[in-house]
Amino acid sequence: MNPTITLSWPEPHVALLTLDMPDKGANILSSAVVAELRERLDEVAAHSDTLGVVLISGKPGMFIAGADLGEFIAGLDAPPDQTIAKSQAGQQLFRRLAELPFVTVAAIDGICVGGGAELAMWCDRRVLSNDAKTSYGFPEVKLGLLPGWGGTARLPRMIGLSNAVEMITGGENIDPQEAWALGVADDVTSADTLLSAAIRLVHREAESKAYQRDRETWAAPIVMSPNELGFLGAAASAVILGQTKGRFPAPMAALELMLESQAQPLDNALRMESEAFARLFGTEVNRALLNIYFLTDRNKRDRGVDTDVRGADVTSVGVVGAGIMGGGIAAANLKRGLPTVLTDASADALRSGAEAVMKDAAYDRKTKAVNAENAMRVGALLNLGSMQHVAGCDVVVEAIVENMDIKRKVLQALESEMRPDAVLGSNTSTIPITKLADGLARPEQFCGIHFFNPVRRMKLVEVIRGESTTDETVATAVGYAKRVGKMPIVVHDGPGFLVNRLLFPYMNESLQLLMEGADIGEIEKASTRFGMPMGPLALYDMVGLDTALYAGRVMWEAFPERIHALPILPALVKQGRLGQKSGSGFFNYANRKGKAESDPYIDEFLTGYVKERRAHDRETLTWRLFAPMILEATRVLEEKLVRDVRDVDLGMVFGLGFPAFRGGLLCWADTIGAAEIVERLKPLAELGSRFEPTPLLLEMARRKHSFYGSH
């Protein structure tokens, strides 16, 4: 096997270790690479006249992407002793970098995260390239872990406890300028002068020996007063609790560890880190977050088709309809530098839509305001035009009213003006793509491109294949969605496609529960305590009760045996209670902040529908809400609506806000197990066929299969 790390001597007495994993886009610190590093360091150390060693990557834009997560997965069930031993072996090797009898310098261009950031941190000095790709950070908490190769011990000693706490518990990467300001980077230079800058640093340090003083400081305990520590602990815990809502244990564990270990000698701090790492490793949340990592990673590589057909490059996009969705889609295009033409049947709608697009696209997250420079840049990419103008683009997305006849007319008019090779997509949430394609001359170049609301925040896009849609069209739509920073999943046509199909049984069940006399607040809590961003009834209010009624009709017409038209929704719509947009729905929004408040009227209203008030315990409520979702997912798998079980979970997490700390719907279902699910469905059998185990579930239970293992 070709080595990953090669040793060369660009100058007498200056060693260069170049990391370049053969046949891989990224350098990963697998155990084989770590072993190679050990050998190469031995080789360098054998030269007694070495002045210093520079570590660099042979891959432009990529230093090291972290540890080998595949090895993590393989070791998830290992006993804690083994996990501790692995962490300690890494610490000892990296620590050698700070103990060699010459200076060590990391020359970083591109991504340097996780284990890679730890390796660089154990070097005496770091030079970063000022390339836009260069970023440095410790994302371990996002996987439910903390740095385990000395990060929590060395970083606070280098850049101060408070800065280190922010970097490690927040898990966000920093850019070269921030790295310079924090003292992580000793020099920032262009990528092509990186190596010479690193070598210069070797000579400077070899002469001044400044690195030797830093070695002493960075190995000693940190001196902080109890007051300072108390303040830092309280402030950081408040931020962490605000962000994690107590669901993600890793950031708090990292904080507690760093607060305790900072006053310890380095050896103790490292031992404490390994133990804390092992306590998080293999926990349910760690497994769930690793699953999310692998889902997203797979999605990045998935072209959406199983053939080697390639999609066309997308250099311009037309958007028809400048409302909530069309505006959001146009803004997403502009943010990624994609020239966009926007049109609308109403001149007023186009004007106000364009204003909203500019506000969204030019928004600067750091300053929390519209940035004038951004506005100039994105403004130059936005054109407001006619239908003909829109039709000249590579991809056209229709986002007008949800009405089949109007949509069909507009799609046909668009198609007649479009280039024969261009792709036409509809953002419909409910109308079957094959039905919309009826009347098109080139249905093979038409598909659903379903963004979620709000487009700015929701990562998911469903690319829906109609009966005639070709692989090339799908690949182009998938490529386009990725180009604008989204995660596309390809699904077959059908009522509600994937996400709304799984959402509906859950939302409908909340209405069933209301009619059985369950308390509205308790239903909401059962959902939010499970981890959903909001309860199902608040979600009805957000979507709009009229819209939900319309979409619901599509679902109960398609699946009458399990989704029933319940009278509550039409009654509220009739009364003009449409949810947030009308100021009241299941909740009242007539307060100053427009927040959901319980409404006594709803209790009164429900008495007309409820035979008797019945308390349900929270566990029952949670199961009643989520079991229909699992069952619907098994039907979706039986029908082969999705290409892979992982697409269901990706859709649920990034389209619906299903809690990431559960790893996705089916990942969570696997933690229960098919046999146990069947068991837990038995007491619900009397409620009707919607709780009947599906043939797939029964088969899985019989064969002891899991969703992830058997698909």
CB of 455 vs ligand NAD, minimal distance in Å:
9
**Positions 420 through 439 that interact with ligand NAD (CB under 6 A):** 427-429
Size of the site for ligand NAD (CB under 6 A): 22
Q: Which stretch binds ligand NAD (CB under 6 A): 232-240, 396-404, 481-489, 592-600?
A: 396-404
Q: How far is the CB of 79 from ligand NAD (least distance, A)?
A: 48
534 binds ligand NAD (CB under 6 A): no
Given the rule CB under 6 A, which of 68-76, 345-353, 376-384, 579-587 is the region that contacts ligand NAD? Answer: 345-353
Return the number of the residue (63 or 497) whose C-beta is nearest ligand NAD. 497
φ/ψ region of 468 (left if φ > 0, alpha if ψ in -120 to 50, else beta) reads alpha
Q: Taking contact as CB under 6 A, which single stretch among the options 143-151, 181-189, 397-405, 658-666 is the one that binds ligand NAD?
A: 397-405
Contacting residue, 35, 235, 406, 685, with ligand NAD by CB under 6 A: 406
Whose structure tokens read 């262009």? 190
Question: With contact defined as beta carbons under 8 Å apart, do 272 and 261 qualify?
Answer: yes
Give buried/exposed letters for 448-467 (b at 16+ CB in 10 A, else e).
bbbbbeebeebbbbbbbbbe
Check binding of 500 to ligand NAD (CB under 6 A). Answer: no
Of the residues 13, 47, 389, 450, only one is catalytic, namely 450
Q: Note whether 22 and 5 are within 8 A (CB).
A: no
- Taking the complex as a whole, the smallest distance from the CB of residue 653 to ligand NAD amounts, in Å, to 17
Candidate list 92, 208, 212, 346; residue touching ligand NAD; CB under 6 A = 346
Site string for ligand NAD, 561-590 (x = CB under 6 A): ------------------------------
Given a contact cutoff of 8 angstroms between Cβ atoms, the answer to whether 44 and 123 are in contact is no
Q: Does 356 bind ligand NAD (CB under 6 A)?
A: no
Q: Does 416 bind ligand NAD (CB under 6 A)?
A: no
Rounded to whole angstroms, the Cα distance separating 288 from 296 reads 13
Judged by CB, which is closer to ligand NAD: 66, or 326?
326
Smallest distance from ligand NAD to CB 416, Å: 15
Q: Which residues of 97-134 are buried (b: 16+ CB within 10 A; e: fewer)?
A: bbebebbbbbbbbbbbbbbbbbbbbbbbbbbbbbbeeb
Of 32 and 324, CB closest to ligand NAD: 324
Residue 361 binding ligand NAD, by CB under 6 A: no
Element (H or E) spanning 600, and its range? helix 600-607
- Beta-carbon contacts of 592 under 8 Å, excluding residues fewer than 6 positions away, are none
- List, in order, residues 6 or more apart from 620 with CB less than 8 Å away: none
Q: What is the DSSP letter of 106?
A: E
Rounded to whole angstroms, the Cα distance separating 467 from 584 reads 41
Q: Which of residues 324-343 bind ligand NAD (CB under 6 A)?
A: 324-326
Tell me if residue 389 is catalytic: no
Task: List binders of ligand NAD among 440-469 (CB under 6 A).
Answer: 452-453
510-537 core/surface letters (b: 16 or more CB in 10 A; e: else): bbbbbebbbbbebbbebbbebebeebbb
Q: Map residues 282-321 to x or -, x wherever contact with ligand NAD holds by CB under 6 A.
A: --------------------------------------xx
- What's the min distance (Å) between Cβ of 368 and ligand NAD? 24
Is residue 642 at the binding interface for ligand NAD, with CB under 6 A as the rule?
Answer: no
* Token output for 688: 């009707």
In the complex, what is the shortest distance from the CB of residue 477 to ligand NAD, in angstroms, rounded to a whole number? 15
* Residue from 402, 417, 438, 444 in contact with ligand NAD (CB under 6 A): 402
Alpha-carbon gap, residue 706 to 440, rounded angstroms: 42
C-beta of 452 vs 658, nearer to ligand NAD: 452
Q: What is the DSSP letter of 109?
A: -
Phi, psi (deg, nearest 5) at residue 197: -65, -40
Strand partners, 5: 19
Give the pairing of strands 363-364 and 369-370. Answer: antiparallel
Question: Binder to ligand NAD among 109, 124, 205, 344 (CB under 6 A)?
Answer: 344
Half-sphere exposure of 268 (CA within 13 A, CB side): 11
Nearer to ligand NAD, 76 or 406 (CB): 406
Residues labelled catalytic: 450
Sites of contact with ligand NAD (CB under 6 A) = 320-326, 344-346, 349, 399-402, 406, 410, 427-429, 452-453
